[in-house]
Amino acid sequence: MFDYIFFDLDGTLTDPALGITNSFKHALESFGLEIPSYEKLCSFIGPPLVDTFRTQFGFSDEKASLGVLKYREYFAEKGLLENAVYPGIPNLLSDLKDAGKRLVVATSKPEEYSVKIIEHFGLAPYFENVCGSLMDESRSKKDQVIEYALERNQINDRGKVLMIGDRKHDILGAKKTGLKSCGILFGYGSLQELQTAGADYIAGNVTELKDICLQ
């Protein structure tokens, strides 16, 4: 059914919790703010950074932009590679590629960072390309990233594309751009979150995800 498989990065291909939570701690400490619990910090994995600073901490647009800069002070130096590929993902990507699927990363993380992560963990050979946001936080909404990925890969038939992700933003972005979506439960979103967002499929593990992609 699907010729193209779009993958979110954080919480889908890799577990970025250590790097992201440490980067948020660094940013919040620079503003003298109390550090939320680890569980709360993990809930920030997925949405665009600038939105998190606005909605979770009440930052103005200007202060949110500064928050992103402080976050990246740590992330660019250390947090980028405080990360780990989920078990089974390399084999999944290999099997999908062998089956003729064309794989693309579609993430709200800046493309510059995303390319480095994909290359560092040896995943680059599986993907046609890596599509992400810009460093100025533009093109950070998931539907914007998906539209960019569709254009970059010259895809006209949206019915042949499946978007995979662990948070509601992935599912809602897919719906907004006319794609089918699959929510995965080994990331940072809950079953309720993904169902409420309207995921077309739900995969509890990598084996189930492979079956959905190859149907």
Query: Hey, which residues are catalytic here?
Result: 8
The C-alpha atoms of residue 70 and residue 168 are separated, in whole angstroms, by 26
Instruction: Go through the chain and tell me how many residues it has.
Output: 215
Rounded Cα–Cα distance for residues 195 and 113 (Å): 30
The partner residues of 19 in beta bridges, in order of sequence, read none
Supply 40's token pair: 């709360």
3-class DSSP state of 178: coil
What does the block give as tokens for 103? 């794989």
Q: Cα–Cα distances in Å, from 111 out to 122, 123, 156, 194, 212?
A: 16, 15, 23, 25, 27
Classify residue 207 as exposed, middle or buried by CB count within 10 Å of its CB (0-12, 13-18, 19+): exposed
